[in-house]
Chain A
Amino acid sequence: MIKQIVFAIALLFTLGVFTYTVLRLISFFRFTKAGFPIRDFGKRTRVMLNVAIGQTKIFRHPVMGFFHALVFWGFCVIIFGSIEMVIDGLSGSERSLKVLGGLHDVIMASGDVFALLVAISIVIFMIRRIFLHVSRFEGIEMKKKSHQDANLALSMILLLMISLMGMNAAYIAFEAAEGGTVYGVYPIGAILAPIFSGLTSQGLHFWYEFFWWSHILLIFVFANILPYSKHFHVFMSVPNTFLSRLDPLGKLTNMDDITREVKLMLDQETAFSAPAGDVPVARFGVKDVEDVTWKNYFDSLSCTECGRCTAVCPANTTGKMLSPRKIFMDLRARMKEKGPGLVKNGKDFTDNRSLLRDYISEEELWACTTCNACAQECPVNINHPTLIVDMRRYLVMEESSAPTGLKTMFANIENNGAPWQYSPEDRLLWTDNLEMNVGK
């Protein structure tokens, strides 16, 4: 009974802290702008099944992708065991999902095997991070804290897997000593059980309880560390793929505010018939966190800083300052900085800082070729170029700020309808003396 009370308190505390964190994040979302409407549920489900469950983009790096897929699929299976543990903890029962019969055996066996596979993958990840120089884990945005964050997450997952395997092994050893029934199948547990040979059934029970509590409490702690770490992607990435931008990568989003203005300029009739000034004109483009869409912010929370975007960025790989990963890390950090002030003082709150310039420089933004390699690569379908262009939109339309070459290009298009200084009168010069062979 005491076990149940302690467990219930721990669970309530976990859920309480988690709810607080999530509500805080939701309060930040209130200050972002509307994005695309969520339609096409069928298509979205397919994208989610492919990209998240099928790990299709992760597999673009086949070797490391395979190990990540093992970890992801492992989590998907092991979570059923965790649910069983919560039910057991609250009800005081043991292996409560055994009512599922054969299915329970399958769930437990795959969870047990995956615990080992995940542990092996995590060790490989740690070796890579700590001992091998992997260039995509470096970069100006990768501070000491980013590396600590990654190592902490990996360490916790490793401990989770060790405690899970220990729990299963001790469970088998204990039931064997007691002559009791083992519910579920535990192939790895069976191999590991002899480690406990020579212990009394009391000692075995202690180790079972030790691993059981270690595992579940680690889950509780992990769940509450995640939202404050880049590893929040554990929660955010699957929904983020469901919320993917479904347009072709080449497409930019239309600015309807501008369409209204341009139509007024081009068409005198609507200029007189349309009521002027009934639409409050927001800032054009993105300068700070309140200008981004909810989806941009959602993307930033889904980013796990893997750096696959930056590793394929033509600007970054040739030594320019731009790093697509940094753009989203900056957005997340800036919201963390400004969000509480916005919540407290309302949408007009200012701290005289902004995402643009205090976090992201103009030099970074102008280096983008909009080639979409970053968006193509992102394993959780973050779209970087649209946000970069939105920030350029602010620079150009609110501040008339752009590199000289681009200003010249704008002027040429305005004056002679081509990005270069050629007269429209010369548009047919290419047809001069055009002849073709028509046979012998």
Chain B
Amino acid sequence: METKKIEVPVMADLFARGEKPEYLFWVGCAGAFDDRYKKVTRAFTKILTHLGISYAVLGKEETCTGDPARRAGNEMLYQMQALQIIEILKNYEVKKIITICPHCFNIFKNEYPDLGGHYEVINYVQFLDHHIENGNIKLDASMLGNTRITYHDPCYLGRGNDIYAEPRSILKKLTNDFVELERNRSFSYCCGAGGAQMFKEAETGKKEVFIERTEEVLRSDAKIVATACPFCMTMLTDGLKYKNKEDIKNLDIAELIVQVMDL
């Protein structure tokens, strides 16, 4: 098998050469720093490269969108971040943004317009589904075949932005044994990390939210639980570890596609 090194295009370099990519690929903090989630970023980058998409990342110029600060009540800090980012994106004449993280997606799509940042914002599951539907990505379902896969809806894709169909459409092409969790789509149950919970200790209760959701995953008898959010991934991976069920894999939709395409 031949391999090729991927040079990830950085916006500043492209601009210096007078080039303007079609998409800004917004990597996100988890995508850049979280060791587990970096693998998802790498997987999605392979797909972008495979498709020959004209894109670039901000690299060292990227900074937090302000989402966790905003949901934790720090509107001041959020708006400082947002207005800076809007300025940077204006300089690079960004029109289209692809995000992996649903929280980044939500804030660009729904909240930056209030501050003057108007973009076409595309979440990667929409992007992947689009390219699968039009045949640019060919999935050979025989590889995962009859592996039972379930899907955990991230709140900010599902309820937050009504994206339920695309991830399911993709997963049903990857396996013949796709199962829903008991609480799915708009009834889905949070992983416990949203609203900046990721960064603090949980309040005292009788159970952790991620354990409750992990138990639901276990009841589905799935071998793979697919996620589409860095926080959901952290929580469910922790949950499976906690339950000593590490034979059940928690993989991102992009990773599953890369696996099947053998990229």
What residues of chain A have their CB less than 8 Å away from a CB belonging to chain B?
60, 247-252, 254-255, 258-259, 261-263, 265-266, 284-285, 312, 314-315, 317-322, 363, 366-373, 375-376, 385, 389, 391-397, 402-406, 408-410, 413-414, 417-420, 422, 424-431, 433-440
Contact = CB atoms under 8 A, between A and B. Distances in A.
B115 A254 contact: yes
A420 B106 CA distance: 20
A250 B156 contact: yes
B51 to A, nearest CB: 12
B76 to A, nearest CB: 6
Contacts of A285: 73, 75
Given A247-B110, A254-B111, A392 B80 contact: no
A257 B109 CA distance: 22
Q: List the 5 closest A-B pairs by CB distance, nearest first.
A: A250-B160, A392-B73, A319-B206, A370-B195, A405-B200
B209 interface: yes
Contacts of B206: 318-319
Given A266-B83, A369-B193, A369-B195, A402 B72 contact: yes
Given A262-B80, A389-B73, A427 B32 contact: yes
B72 A396 contact: yes
Contacts of A319: 204-207
Interface residues of B, number: 82
A372 B50 CA distance: 36
Interface of B: 1-6, 8, 10, 27, 29, 31-33, 38, 41-42, 45-46, 49-50, 57, 59-64, 66, 68-77, 79-81, 83-84, 106, 109-111, 114-115, 155-156, 159-162, 186-190, 192-209, 211-212, 262-263
Given A261-B76, A319-B207, A393-B74, 9 more contacts: A285-B75, A369-B194, A394-B73, A413-B64, A419-B29, A419-B69, A430-B32, A431-B6, A434-B42
B32 A426 contact: yes
A393 to B, nearest CB: 4
Contact of B6 (A250, A375, A435): A435
A435 B46 CA distance: 8
A290 B200 CA distance: 30
A426 B33 contact: yes
Nearest to A263: B83
A241 B163 CA distance: 23
A440 B211 CA distance: 43
Contacts of A255: 75, 79
B33 A420 contact: yes
B83 A250 contact: no
B161 A317 contact: no
A318 B208 contact: yes
Contact of B4 (A263, A410, A438): A438
Contact of A397 (B62, B73, B190, B212): B73
Contacts of B162: 248
Contacts of B212: 314, 317-318
B189 A314 contact: yes
B263 A436 contact: yes
A424 B46 CA distance: 23
Given A319-B207, A438-B3, A439-B2, A410 B63 contact: no
Contacts of B190: 314, 369, 371, 373
A402 B73 contact: yes
A413 B66 contact: yes
A249 B59 contact: no
B80 A418 contact: no
Contacts of A395: 73
Contacts of B72: 392, 396, 402, 406, 409-410
Contacts of B31: 430
A249 B196 CA distance: 17
A376 to B, nearest CB: 5
Contacts of B203: 315, 320-322, 363, 366-367
Contacts of A427: 27, 32-33, 59-60, 62
A393 B75 contact: yes
A250 B63 contact: no
A213 to B, nearest CB: 47
A369 B197 contact: yes
Given A410-B77, A440-B2, A249 B159 contact: yes
A433 to B, nearest CB: 8
A369 B77 contact: no
Contacts of B209: 314-315, 318, 369
Contact of B205 (A254, A315, A420): A315
Contact of A373 (B45, B77, B189): B189
Given A371-B194, A406-B199, A425-B60, A418 B74 contact: no
A439 B3 CA distance: 8
Contacts of B83: 262-263, 266
